[in-house]
């Protein structure tokens, strides 16, 4: 077995680069001028370019999905953003054995950028990998949930199911990409971190993890998008209200 090489957390987070944009976290250069810190986002501060960054991202997502239901767009936008938060921290935990501090005042986000969500970290401060839940759940998922629920009719269970779905999806993708590079221990490490995180009070009860397969107990509402269907880990076998003989999508 080829063991995973763990290296010291470097300022450029160079170990993430071979894994592509979904795992990329920018740490050098200047972030685009419209980018807001997440502290500003969670405090509902507006920018000169986008106004409220969350509202802007939700509206942009609604246009891309061709949906007239803001809560559907808000759920899908939340899922994409949370996936990015998990992907960079989980990859660092596996590849470095440490994670960068993603304090909301340090992490910037450009809601106008194309998917995957563009994130910039203005300073890299290493933390132990066992601080994953502190950094992501307490630092971002809880205030992001509160910010979205203040403006959109989204159930806590839906948002927490999104967070669990994004976590397990990131872990699967990380394991596949690492295996292609001969880093065969990465998938197992990612599974261990994922199982521990799913036991956290914020995520506990959101679904069932079997190996790398996850079945959530909620729905992200993607089936309500024109032409959409149920996701692979959805609690529904087919879109609610559809014929039992119709394809599940």
The pLDDT tens digits for 110-130 are: 999 887 888 999 999 999 999
The pLDDT tens digits for 55-66 are: 999 999 999 999
Class of residue 63 by CB neighbours under 10 A (exposed 0-12, middle 13-18, buried 19+): exposed
Structure confidence at residue 242 (pLDDT): 62
The pLDDT tens digits for 210-228 are: 998 999 999 999 999 999 9
The token pair that represents 198 in the structure block: 């799913």
- Rounded to 5 degrees, what are φ and ψ at 100? -80, 145
Q: What is the mean pLDDT of residues 6-11?
A: 79
HSE-CB at 179 with a 13 A cutoff on CA atoms is: 10
How many Å apart are CA 90 and CA 136, to the nearest integer? 10
Structure confidence at residue 114 (pLDDT): 81
pTM across the whole model:
0.92
Domain ranges of the chain: 14-205
Q: What's the pLDDT band for 7 if we cut at 50, 70, 90? A: low
The pLDDT tens digits for 186-213 are: 989 999 999 999 999 999 999 999 998 9
**Locus of tokens 């292609």:** 180
């Amino acid at each position: 077995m080829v063991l995973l090489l763990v290296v010291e957390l470097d300022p450029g987070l160079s170990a993430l680069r071979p894994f592509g944009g979904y795992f990329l976290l920018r740490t050098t250069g200047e972030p685009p001028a419209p980018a807001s810190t997440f502290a500003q986002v969670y405090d509902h501060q507006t920018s000169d370019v986008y106004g409220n960054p969350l509202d802007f991202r939700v509206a942009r997502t609604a246009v891309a999905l061709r949906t007239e239901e803001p809560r559907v767009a808000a759920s899908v936008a939340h899922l994409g953003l949370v996936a990015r938060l998990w992907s960079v921290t989980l990859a660092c935990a596996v590849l470095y054995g440490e994670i960068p501090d993603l304090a909301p005042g340090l992490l910037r986000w450009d809601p106008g950028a194309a998917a995957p969500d563009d994130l910039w970290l203005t300073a890299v401060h290493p933390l132990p990998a066992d601080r994953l839940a502190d950094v992501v759940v307490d630092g971002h998922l809880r205030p992001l949930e509160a910010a979205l629920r203040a403006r959109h009719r989204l159930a806590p269970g839906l948002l927490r199911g999104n967070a669990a779905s994004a976590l397990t999806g990131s872990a699967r993708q990380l394991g596949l990409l690492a295996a292609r590079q001969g880093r065969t221990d990465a998938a197992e490490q990612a599974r261990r971190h994922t199982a521990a995180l799913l036991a956290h009070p914020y995520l506990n009860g959101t679904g069932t993890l079997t190996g790398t397969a996850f079945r959530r107990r909620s729905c992200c509402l993607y089936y309500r998008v024109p032409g959409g269907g149920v996701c692979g880990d959805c609690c529904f076998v087919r879109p609610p209200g559809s014929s039992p003989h119709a394809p599940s999508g």
